Amino acid sequence: MHNALGAVQSLLVLGGASDIGAAIAARLAADGCHSIVLAGRRAEAMEPVAARLRDAGAEVALTHWDATDIGSHGDAVKAAWDAVPGGGDVDCVVLAAGVLGDQARIEAEPAAAAELITTNFTGPTTTLLHVAQRMREQGHGTIIVLSSVAGERVRRSNFVYGSSKAGLDALAQGLGDSLVDAGVRVLVVRPGFVHTSMTAGREAAPLATTAEAVAEATAAALAGSRDVVWVPGTLRWLMASFRHLPRPVWRKVAAGR
Ligand SMILES: NC(=O)c1ccc[n+]([C@@H]2O[C@H](COP(=O)([O-])OP(=O)(O)OC[C@H]3O[C@@H](n4cnc5c(N)ncnc54)[C@H](OP(=O)(O)O)[C@@H]3O)[C@@H](O)[C@H]2O)c1
């Protein structure tokens, strides 16, 4: 349960080795979250994250979750709930898994699009529906979904990734509406370019930010009542105007011309 100040006490990170997921977990651990489950496909990648969280005073468990293994998601969500150190409910779930993919390869080999879409959209959808059932049963909780500006207006350079994020963002909004009366909140986080493993080696976009800044903005949003947070916040206004640009103009803007 949330403590007397309303802070998260137990957390599940889906995509437990994600740089942004790890930064959010560290930020919430600093606020007193003491029971954390990291769920992902590679325990060896999550171990260093777990070690840092333990150093910060949290108890941490690792469980297996692969976004592409659709049939396993019910059991994986149950296993994550059962693994909460000290037992009890999960106050907050962060969906932080995702792949950027290689747009050129996807266009050359269309079958590659399926894995990206399964990882970023189909798998998160089935997993979050299981999470929603659990949160309905416990009668409280927050689900944080890592969306992206890439889904707000899709760009030619990564339109398959952008489409998967547009789908995930829409899913998260609808899920939030479906859970309002159950006392469960869905918070959609829409970062721009973030310096993480996902973007390593790529030229930074304007307004590039850090995983720690995303975590800070997420923690601030958790303490309030908004259901969407942009990081950095200026992107909200920028994307509001980009969203309505005629397509020929958008093509030039998105290509930096
Ligand atoms: N970085 C950015 O610029 C940016 C901007 C906007 C939104 N986002 C979104 O933020 C989220 C976190 O990204 P990040 O920057 O923290 O990237 P990251 O450090 O590369 O983390 C992505 C995580 O997704 C996990 N993952 C990939 N495929 C998976 C699968 N099939 N099953 C389970 N986990 C899987 C990876 O696990 P492995 O360790 O097993 O590979 C990795 O831990 C993503 O949803 C991303 O789309 C990122």
Tens of pLDDT, residues 64-104: 999 999 999 999 999 999 999 999 999 999 999 999 999 99
pLDDT for 4: 45
- Measure the CA–CA gap between 182 and 173, rounded to whole angstroms: 15
Q: Does 180 participate in catalysis according to the annotation? A: no
Which listed residue (65, 121, 161, 193) is catalytic?
161
- Measure the CA–CA gap between 125 and 8, rounded to whole angstroms: 23
pLDDT for 241: 93
96 lines ligand 1 (CB under 6 A): yes
What is the CA(210)–ligand 1 centre distance, in A?
Answer: 14
What is the CA(199)–ligand 1 centre distance, in A?
Answer: 10
CA distances from residue 133 to 128, 129, 136, 229 in whole angstroms, order as listed: 9, 6, 5, 24
194 lines ligand 1 (CB under 6 A): yes
Computed over every residue of the chain, the mean pLDDT equals 96
What is the CA(144)–ligand 1 centre distance, in A?
Answer: 14
pTM: 0.97
Q: Are 82 and 62 in contact, with CB atoms under 8 Å apart? A: no
